[in-house]
Structure 1
Amino acid sequence: MSRLNSMMRRLAAQAEGLEWGLTQIGTLEGDFLEMGLGNGRTYDHMREIAPERRIWVIDRALNCHQSCVPPKEDYLEGEAEDMLRKLADQGTKVALGHYDFGFGVKEKDVAEAARLSAMIAPVMAANGVLISGQPLVGFEQVRGPETVAPDRYYFYRT
C-alpha cells in the first residue's frame, strides 16, 4: 500500500472512529480530549461533530493551522505526563478521548502509548470511549466501526 493510501485510510479511520465514538457515549457526561493536536484536523472534526462539548487539547507545541487553534483555556502545552496529571488533579472527566501522540517511529510510538495509558486512565469517565492510532493498555478493547479495519485504529471502553 502506498503511503498516500495509508494516510487516507488513517484519516478516514479517525473521522469514522470519532463519529462512531460519539454514538457510543450518547449522553454520557464529560469532556472530550485530543491528545496530540498536530495541524488540528482531528480537533476541528471534533468541534464540528460535538460543538456542545468542551474539548481539551494536549500537545508539546502549538503548530496547528490558524483556523484550528483551541481556546487558550482548553489548550495544555507541554509534556503529556504533566498535562494529563493536571487534568486528573483538577477532576476533569473525559467521555471521549482521541490518542494521536507520536514520534513517527512505530516501536517508539507503541511504547509511548503503553507508558501513557496509566496516565490517561484517571481522566477517563466510566464507560467512556478512547480512539487511538496506537495500542493502549489497561482498557477494554472493542470493535469500532465496521468501516475501519481492526489493524488500522484501536477502540476502547473505559
Structure 2
Amino acid sequence: MSRLDSMRRRLSAQIDGLNWAAEQVQGIDGDVLELGLGNGRTYDHLREVLPERRIWVIDRVLQPHPSCVPPAENFLQGEADDMLATLAKTDAKCALAHYDFGFGVKDLDVAEGARLSPLIAALMVPGGLVVSQQPLVGLTQISGPDTIDPERYLFYRAP
C-alpha cells in the first residue's frame, strides 16, 4: 500500500472513530482532551462535533492552521508528562481523549503511550473514552466502529 493510500485510510479511520466516540460520550459529563495539536485538523473536527465541550489541548509547540488555534486558556504547551500533571491539578475531568502523539518509530511510540497512560487515565471520568493511534495500558480496550481496522485505531474505556 502506498503511503498516500495509508494516509487516506488513517484519516478515514480517524474521522469515523472520533464521530463514533463523540456519539458514545453523549450523556457523560466531562471535557475533551486533544493530545497532539499538530496543524489542528482533529481539534477543529472535535470542536465541530462536540461544540458544547471544553477542549483541552496539549502539545510541545503551537503551530496549527490559523483557524485552528485553541483559546490560550485551553492550550498547555510543553512536554506531555508535565502538561498532564498540570491539568490534573485543575478540576478538569474528561469524557473523551484523543491520543495523537508519536515519533513515527514504533518502539518509541509504544513506550511513550505506556508511560503517559496512567496520567491520561487519571483525567478521565468513569466510562469516558480514549481514541488512540498507539497502544495504551491501564484502560479497558473496546471495539470501535466496524469501519475501522482494529490495528489502525484503538479504543479504550476508562474504569
* Class of the TM-score when normalised by the shorter of the 2 chains: over 0.9
Distance of 2:77 and 2:16 partners within structure 1:
27
Question: Following superposition of structure 1 onto structure 2, how do residues 1-150 of structure 1 map, counting pairs within 5 Å?
Answer: 1-150=1-150
Deviation at 1:90, TM superposition (A): 1.0
Question: Any stretches of 5+ residues in structure 1 without a counterpart?
Answer: none
**Structure 2 CA distance, aligned partners of 1:64 and 1:104?**
19
* 4+ runs deviating over 6 angstroms: none
How far apart, CA to CA, are the structure 2 residues paired with 1:135 and 1:9? 18
Residue 13 of structure 1 deviates from its aligned partner by 1.1
The Cα shift of 1:33 comes to: 0.5
Q: Deviations over 1:80-131 (max 9, x none)?
A: 0111011111131000000001112121111101111011111011000000
* Percent of aligned pairs sharing the same letter: 62
Instruction: Write the letter of the residue equivalent to 2:89.
Output: D
Q: Is the 8 A contact 1:30 1:94 kept in 2?
A: yes
| Worse-superposed segment, 74-83 or 18-27 | 18-27
Residue range with higher mean Cα deviation, 7-16 or 31-40:
7-16
Distance 1:103 1:71 in 2: 26
Q: Secondary structure at the match of 1:64?
A: coil
Instruction: For 1:67 and 1:91, locate their aligned partners in 2 and report how far apart those are by CA, in whole Å.
Output: 28
Aligned to 1:156, the other structure's residue is in SS state: strand
Q: What do you get for the CA RMSD once the two structures are aligned?
A: 0.7
Structure 2 unaligned blocks of 5 or more = none
Count, aligned residues = 158
